[in-house]
Structure 1
Amino acid sequence: MDTLSEYIWLILVLGVLAVVLLAALVVPRLRRRARPLPPDRSSSDDLLPPPPEADGRTTDAGTAVLDEPPAGPAAVTEPELAPEPEVAPAPELERPEGAASRLVRLRQRLAGSQNVFGRGLLALLSRDRLDDDAWEDLEDTLITADVGVAATTELVERLRNRLRIEGAEGTDLRTVLREELLTLVDPTLDRTLATQGADGKPAVTLVVGVNGTGKTTTVGKLARVLVAEEKSVVLGAADTFRAAAAEQLGTWGERVGVPVVRGPEGSDPASVAFEAVRSGVEQDADVVIVDTAGRLQNKAGLMDELGKVKRVIEKQVPVSEVLLVLDATTGQNGLAQARVFSEVVNVTGVVLTKLDGSAKGGIVVAVQRELGVPVKLVGLGEGADDLAPFDAGAFVDALLEA
């Protein structure tokens, strides 16, 4: 009996162990079967890029290292655009005055400063008795006004003859004096500026003179005169010895939209003049105005250099106009300057500056007789449009303005 019990317990223990062993083997299989299948990735896998290949970098152990793929889709970054630079608005171009308004100002300005001369002449001629002393006083007045000795003698003789023939009484002295002064100033001279070159090329104007006469300012004002006449202009800054000359000319050009050709300070003036003319030809300009350095008429080297400038220009285009700028207040000294410049560069016209600041208007007559060329322009003040074409009638009328 005891032996039978022992067998039974042994069988039970073995049965329990068998059950436990069976459970250990069957349950994991059941769990694996119950795990859900992964979704079908065949379509999405086709869209993914293939895994990167090893880039050849190795670790200490010698295995290849792949670059880590980005954690997510690469962010598309737009390139930063540099801010657009602010463009300064173009300066508004000035509209120069026309010839008509300049002539009105010519008469007004001259009348305000020159009428002392005219009134003096009228006062002498209106005396009750025109004796020799009166005529000598008249001669002194004319000579003091820089008319010149020869022109003064001629004018006095004509006046004496007319009054002797016509009689002083009942004669309109103002009319007689106006007619004789107008004859002296010579209204028949051609005072027009050459603004049309040969063969369709630009007309070239060379501006010369001594230091301090206002050449560069005159060039700038002359550009305004031509722009008012609807002419296209190029300026040449051939005064390379004065640092401010090119800048000054550039300012004048900017105000009316006229290009300025310049060179380095101290460069050869002839080369700058050459480039200015070439630029004018290329741009099909109407007129090229070349500013030159001021030079003393008694300096042979400087005068020779001026001749060189003219010769270099004429390798491309003939010089149409040579304007000599004279200070009206210099009187007879200006005539000495005029003679030398005329010999070197064949002056074709005169510009008288500061004419409104002096009662010596007779310099107009003197310089014309000395050079045989007309006064073409006169400077009447500091304003931008205070350069006017010279008009003989307006000039004489201003002299005799009451």
Structure 2
Amino acid sequence: MDGLALVILIIALVALALVGTVTGLVVTRRRTPAPLPDTWTDDLGIPPGAQPGATDVLEPEVLDPEFVEPTAAVLERPEGTASRLVRLRQRLAGSQGGLGRGLLALLSRDRLDEDTWESIEDTLLTADVGVTPTQELVERLRTRLRVDGNEAGDPRTVLREELLTLVDPSMDRRLQVSGADGQPGVVLVVGVNGAGKTTTVGKIARILVAEERSVVLGAADTFRAAAVEQLATWAERVGVEVVRGPEGTDPASVAFEAVKEGVDRGVDTVIIDTAGRLQNKQGLMDELGKVKRVIEKQAPVTEVLLVLDATTGQNGLIQARVFSEVVDVTGIVLTKLDGSAKGGIVVAVQRELGVPVKLVGLGEGADDLAPFDAGAFVDALLG
């Protein structure tokens, strides 16, 4: 009996030892880390195939994320004047060519009778050239093509010369963006709602920056927070400063501070964006006059640009007339000229105000504002 008990005890001890061994193996396997995918090890700087054990310690510089030194915002480099003029010709030729082709087709007829001249008049009036300029142009064409005959030249040459005279290349179309005696030039931008004043201010700033001039913008359209933010965005893109105030601030005070900032910093040009005033709202128009008077306590206004939408046609002339009575408009900016077949508005508005079209908007792009060139415009009309 004692021998049997001894055998059972030995068997039990052997079984217990086997169980412990198996258990130990299982625990050990569970503590062995699972293999890492190669992509992870690549990120951690460990060669593919090498597996760190449970006690492996990775170097701190491997675990820390890469530190990237913050960089300053990259400023845009605006387009120069020369390439803008090239695009002016291309865009205008696409939108205004129909007028020139229509006139040339009529003038090239074998017989220029009264019906033909009436059709020429209708074509010019439809293009918003205006009644008086149209009558003058038709009379000169009649004289040269009917009276002078072959001595006048071919119809295309005659038409180009007369259109160029009508657009008047002798007008001074330079932007007055410099002040006297070291003061900054002050440009006041005015117009009705929706004409594109804020965008125009931003685009003019780009033109000046491309010419390496220092600029400060004044956000005097204080009734629309969106206008202030829009102007700030334009400014950030080319690295110029914007002076603004809380929403609803007196526009004249913002304009005053902007010009003061420009004087103190010695910048070349200050451009003031104003609220889009409706020409039939006398109070708002009076306020515009106040803005100009307050600005001139700091420095003279060197340029007053009236922004007009070229697609509004004759309605733009009404706007121009009212604004010219409130402030001394010195130049016209015609926006959306590339989207209108009524390019005659150039002639009509110049006749209405006696001031030149200085800039034209050719599209929605940041650099789609170009100095107006009379020769390029007429060439575009003729296709």
The 5-angstrom pairing of residues 85-104 of structure 1 reads 88-104=70-86
Aligned to 2:111: 129
Deviation at 1:89, TM superposition (A): 2.0
- The answer (yes or no) to whether the contact 2:306–2:320 under 8 Å persists in 1 is yes
- Residues 370 and 170 of structure 1, relative CA distance in 2, 3 Å threshold: closer
Give the alignment partner of residue 159 of structure 1, picking from 141, 150, 154.
141
Aligned to 2:332: 350
Letter of the structure 1 residue corresponding to residue 353 of structure 2: L
Q: Is 1:251 equivalent to 2:233 in the alignment?
A: yes
Aligned to 2:272: 290
- Residues 123 and 169 of structure 1, relative CA distance in 2, 3 Å threshold: farther
Q: d(CA) in 2 for partners of 1:274 and 1:89?
A: 34
Q: Secondary structure at the match of 2:77?
A: coil
Q: d(CA) in 2 for partners of 1:203 and 1:141?
A: 41
Q: Is 1:392 equivalent to 2:355 in the alignment?
A: no
The 5-angstrom pairing of residues 371-386 of structure 1 reads 371-386=353-368
Give the alignment partner of residue 310 of structure 2, picking from 314, 328, 337.
328
Aligned to 1:41: none
Q: d(CA) in 2 for partners of 1:88 and 1:238?
A: 33
Deviations 1:267-308 (Å, cap 9, x if unpaired)?
100000001001101111100000000011011000000000
Deviations 1:367-394 (Å, cap 9, x if unpaired)?
0000000000000000000000000000
Unaligned runs of 5+ in 1: 1-84
Deviation at 1:243, TM superposition (A): 1.3
Give the alignment partner of residue 175 of structure 2, picking from 186, 193, 198.
193
Q: d(CA) in 1 for partners of 2:219 and 2:306?
A: 16
Q: d(CA) in 2 for partners of 1:197 and 1:341?
A: 23
Cα-Cα RMSD: 1.3
Aligned to 1:183: 165
Q: Secondary structure at the match of 2:111?
A: coil
- Residues 170 and 299 of structure 1, relative CA distance in 2, 3 Å threshold: closer
Deviation at 1:87, TM superposition (A): 7.0
Deviations 1:309-359 (Å, cap 9, x if unpaired)?
000000010000000000001111000000110010110000000000011
Give the alignment partner of residue 337 of structure 1, picking from 298, 316, 319.
319
Task: Look at both structures and tell me which one has the larger radius of gyration over its CA atoms.
Answer: 1
TM-score (norm 2): 0.81
Aligned to 1:206: 188
Deviation at 1:168, TM superposition (A): 5.4
Letter of the structure 2 residue corresponding to residue 224 of structure 1: R
Letter of the structure 2 residue corresponding to residue 104 of structure 1: V
Q: d(CA) in 2 for partners of 1:206 and 1:287?
A: 11
Unaligned runs of 5+ in 2: 1-66
Q: d(CA) in 2 for partners of 1:88 and 1:359?
A: 49
- The answer (yes or no) to whether the contact 2:144–2:152 under 8 Å persists in 1 is no
Give the alignment partner of residue 300 of structure 2, picking from 314, 318, 328.
318
Deviation at 1:162, TM superposition (A): 0.4
Q: Is 1:143 equivalent to 2:129 in the alignment?
A: no
Give the alignment partner of residue 229 of structure 1, picking from 211, 217, 226.
211
Aligned to 1:43: none
- The answer (yes or no) to whether the contact 2:145–2:152 under 8 Å persists in 1 is no
Q: Is 1:242 equivalent to 2:234 in the alignment?
A: no
Q: d(CA) in 2 for partners of 1:225 and 1:121?
A: 35
Q: Is 1:278 equivalent to 2:266 in the alignment?
A: no
Deviations 1:88-107 (Å, cap 9, x if unpaired)?
42111111111100000000
Q: Which segment is superposed worse, 255-264 or 168-177?
A: 168-177
Q: Secondary structure at the match of 1:199?
A: coil
Q: d(CA) in 1 for partners of 2:297 and 2:367?
A: 33
Letter of the structure 2 residue corresponding to residue 374 of structure 1: P
Q: For this pair of structures, how many residues does the alignment match?
A: 317
Deviation at 1:165, TM superposition (A): 3.0
Identity of aligned residues (%): 81
